[in-house]
Amino acid sequence: MKINKFYLVLFLLALVAPTALYPVFLMKVLCFALFACAFNLLLGFVGLLSFGHAAFLGTGGYVTGAMMLHTGMGPELSILAGTVAAGLLGAVYGKLAVKREGIYFAMVTLALAQLAFFFYLQSPFTGGEDGLQGVPRGTLLGMFDLSDNMNMYYFVLAIFIFGFWLIHRTIHSPFGQILKAIRENEPRAVSLGYNVNDYKWVVFIISSALAGLAGSTKTLVFQLASLTDVHWHMSGEVVLMTLLGGMGTIFGPVVGAGVVVTIQNYLSGGELGNYIHIIMGLIFIVCVLAFRSGIVGEFQKMVKKNF
Partner 1 sequence: MKLMKKTVLAVAMSLATVTGVQAAGVSDDVVKIGVLGDMGGVYADIAGPGSVVAVKMAVEDFGGTVLGQPIEVVSADDQNKADVGSSIARKWIDDENVDVINGAVASSVTGAVTKVMTAAEKITLIAASASHAFTTKACSPFNAHWTYDVVALANGTVKPMVASGKEKWFFITADYGFGHALEKVATGVIKDNGGTVVGGVRAPLGTTDFSSYILQAQSSGADVIALANAGADMVNSLKTAAEFGVTEMMDVAGLLVFTQNAQALDPAIAGGMKLTTGFYWDMDDQTRAWSKRYMERMDGKIPSMAHAGAYSSTMHYLNAVKAAGTDEGKAVMAKMKETPVEDFFSRNGYLRKDGRMVHDMLQVRIKTADERTSANDIFAIEKVIKGDDAFLELSKGGCEFAMAK
Q: Which residue ranges make up the site for partner 1 (CB under 8 A)?
A: 22, 24-25, 28, 127-131, 133-134, 149, 222-224, 226, 228-229, 268-269, 273-274
State in angstroms the smallest separation of the CB of 132 from partner 1: 10
Nearer to partner 1, 6 or 125 (CB): 125
Q: Please say which residue, 76 or 130, places its beta carbon nearer to partner 1.
A: 130
In angstroms, give the least distance from the CB of 116 to partner 1. 17
Q: DSSP characters for the chain?
A: -HHHHHHHHHHHHHHHHHHHS-HHHHHHHHHHHHHHHHHHHHHTTT----S-THHHHHHHHHHHHHHHHHT---HHHHHHHHHHHHHHHHHHHHHHHTTS-HHHHHHHHHHHHHHHHHHHHHSGGGTGGG-EE-----EETTTEETTSHHHHHHHHHHHHHHHHHHHHHHHTSHHHHHHHHHHH-HHHHHHTT--HHHHHHHHHHHHHHHHHHHHHHHHHHHTEE-GGGTSHHHHHHHHHHHHHH-TT-SSHHHHHHHHHHHHHHHHHHSGGGGGHHHHHHHHHHHHHHH-TTHHHHHHHHHHHHH-
CB of 24 to partner 1, least distance (A): 6
For 15, 54, 184, 288, 293, the CA distances from 296, given in Å and listed in that order, are: 22, 24, 21, 14, 7
Give the nearest distance from C-beta 166 to partner 1 in angstroms. 26
- Shorter beta-carbon distance to partner 1: residue 129 or 303: 129
Q: Which is nearer to partner 1, 43 or 55 (CB)?
A: 55
Q: Which is nearer to partner 1, 10 or 121 (CB)?
A: 121
Q: How far is the CB of 280 from partner 1 (least distance, A)?
A: 13
Output 1 or 129, the one with its CB closest to partner 1: 129
- Report DSSP letters for 86-105, one per residue: HHHHHHHHHHHHTTS-HHHH
Find the shortest distance in angstroms from Cβ 14 to partner 1: 19
State the nearest-atom distance from the C-beta of 246 to partner 1, in Å: 27
In the complex with partner 1, the residue whose CB is nearer, 64 or 249, is 64
